[in-house]
Amino acid sequence: MDSVKGWINEIRDMGGIKFIILRNRDGFFQITIPKKKVSEELFSMVEKLNREDVIEVTGNLQDARSRDFDTELIPEDIKVLNHSDTPLPLDPSEKVRAELDTRLDNRFLDIRKPNIASIFKVRHSLLKHAREYLDGQGFLEIHTSKIISSASEGGTELFPIKYFEKDAYLSQSPQLYKQMTMAGGFGRVYEIAWYFRAEEHNTPRHLNEATAIDIEMSFIESEEDVMGVLENLIHNTIKGVSNDCKKELEMLDVELNVPKVPFERLYYDEAIDMLKSNDYDIEWGDDLGTEGEKILGKIMIDKGHEYYFIKRYPRNKVFYLQPEDRYCRGFDLDCKGIELTSGGQRCHEYDTIKDRIVEFGMNPGNFEDYLKIFKYGMPPHGGFGFGIERWLMEILELGNVRECILFPRDRSRTTP
């Protein structure tokens, strides 16, 4: 006797034979109910069932005559575990298409769709292989506080919260805490981190609550050590996802290319020259901008580079990056014209980081806890924060980053 549980995706009544297409996390199953082979009570009860009812079917599995299924279940018993109301606010069978806002308002129904569930199975595999790679490279997984007393990166785009008698904020990133663990001698750490950023964006690429793979590593020679970890992390992770998720990638109509390492290195100065030669209005010291990144992406794709680094930015990129003359030891990783992550070698000497805080127009007095870690033996170190949703959006060729997190938070959405 065989048994299957799940949700009713579809009911077909052909007169003398009825079909229930059952759906669960493993896929679709055909329940075939011939009037001549089942009890009259069981045959008639199908009329009382609704789409999305949760049922358990027990019966005999046999080869199916249908081209869509290899096997079918002839039921001896159908037990209703829970009824679904009608009409449905969203059609999980996708016979009726829904707008993204409707889908997100009813996300629990939306993720019943196998193609949407596939996104999150790929996400699971991606994180599994990222962890495996980092564990194999001697990284220690940590978890840092998401409640902070002041801006973690010197910015003002913070979500304030009331913390007993004090004012506090949600963390923008674990950056400063990762550096504290370098001062603590942990050597190599990573965190699957949550970011909270009160930026008033409302684009397909931005979220106000997002996740990232953050790493920090000590005793580096330059930012190239960090870049080497990042490119090999991507290579190994995509290779693992390609092997694990063949069915899901096929459902999403995506063919993953495992990128070759090392990735191409592009200097900021070279990027500026390339943009100018393409009639893009930009001067040395400017941010490349979204449009500039897209132009660079087309150029690099034509050269055969899907992933590529842009390094040696002007020294005003971020205050905690190690300066070198008019440059800093920072980098971005782009994929097909989309910035996926930033990182680099950090300042590790007390006087240097203090001077950098002043250089960026900030008050060192607001960074006392942070500055303290540089007074008592901080090794040369660096790291990056790699946005999971934006990476997933790129490799799965999805049009909106909200597709890549279960319950997105953006400028206007705080539910469900």
User: Tell me: the pLDDT tens digits for 275-302?
Assistant: 999 999 999 999 999 999 999 999 999 9
| Residue 190 vs residues 98, 142, 196, 234, 384: alpha-carbon distances, Å | 38, 6, 18, 15, 10
What residue spans of 86-113 are helical by DSSP H?
100-105, 107-110
What's 50's domain CATH number? Answer: 2.40.50.140
pLDDT tens digit sequence for 14-27: 999 999 999 999 99
Peptide bond into 380 cis (omega under 30): no
Stretch 160-166: mean pLDDT: 94
Q: How many residues does the chain have?
A: 416
Burial class (CB in 10 A: 0-12, 13-18, 19+), 371: middle
In whole angstroms, give the CA distance from residue 408 to residue 413.
7
Q: Kindly tell me if the per-residue pLDDT of 171 is higher than 60.
A: yes
Q: Tell me the β-bridge partners of 308.
A: 264, 334
- Is 169 a member of any domain? yes
- Can you tell me the mean pLDDT for 305-310? 97
Q: Decide if 97 is inside a domain.
A: no
Give the C-alpha distances (Å, rounded to integers) separating 415 from 103, 131, 172. 12, 30, 21
pLDDT at 158: 92
Q: What is the pLDDT of residues 55-96, one digit of tens each?
A: 999 999 999 988 889 999 999 999 999 999 999 999 998 888
Instruction: Tell me what the pLDDT averaged over the chain comes to.
Output: 95
Q: Please state, in angstroms and rounded to a whole number, the distance separating the CA atoms of residues 321 and 312.
A: 11
Are 69 and 169 contained in the same domain? Answer: no
Q: How many CB atoms lie within 10 A of CB 271?
A: 25
Residue 95: predicted pLDDT: 84
Q: What is the CATH number of the domain that holds 322?
A: 3.30.930.10
147 contacts: CB under 8 Å, gap ≥ 6 = 161, 163, 168, 169, 170, 171
Q: In terms of domains, do 325 and 385 share one?
A: yes
Q: How would you label 185-207 residue by residue, b for 16+ Cβ within 10 Å and e otherwise?
A: ebbbbbbebbbbbeeeeeeebbb
Could you report how far apart the first and last alpha carbons of the chain are, in Å? Answer: 40
Beta-bridge partners for 191: 214
- Which domain covers residue 398, as residue numbers? 110-404
- Do 36 and 185 share a structural domain? no
Same domain (yes/no): 288, 380: yes
Residue 416 lies in a domain: no
Same domain flag for 270 and 368: yes
Task: State whether 255 and 336 are in the same domain.
Answer: yes
- Residue 45 buriedness (CB in 10 A; 0-12 / 13-18 / 19+): middle
Residue 269 φ then ψ, to 5°:
-60, -40
- pLDDT for 150 equals 74
pLDDT tens digits, 325-364: 999 999 999 999 999 999 999 999 999 999 999 999 999 9
What number of CA atoms fall less than 13 Å from residue 154's CA on the CB side? 21
- Residues 29, 147 within the same domain: no
SS3 of 313, please? coil
48 in any annotated domain: yes
Residues 83 and 169 in one domain: no
Tell whether 359 and 249 lie within a shared domain: yes
Is 411 inside a domain boundary? Answer: no
Q: What are phi and psi of 156, to 5 degrees?
A: -115, 0
In this structure, is residue 241 part of a structural domain? yes
DSSP secondary structure, 351-405, as one string: HHHHHHHHHTT--GGGGHHHHHTTSS-PPPEEEEEEEHHHHHHHHTT-S-GGGGS
Cis amide bond preceding 204, omega within 30: no
Residues 83 and 134 in one domain: no
Q: What percent of the chain has pLDDT over 90?
A: 92
| Domain stop point among 87, 102, 134 | 87
Token pair belonging to 106:
């009813």
Please check whether residue 211 lies inside any domain of the structure. Answer: yes
Specify the pLDDT at position 91: 94
Token pair 């046999």 is at which residue?
A: 62
Give the single-character DSSP code of 274. H
Rounded to the nearest angstrom, the gap between the alpha carbon of residue 90 and the centroid of all alpha carbons in its chain is 25
Domain count, the chain: 2
Residue 152 has what pLDDT?
A: 53
194 & 69 share domain: no
Structure tokens at 39: 């009890």
CB 323 within 8 Å of CB 352 = yes
My answer on whether 260 and 339 are in the same domain is: yes
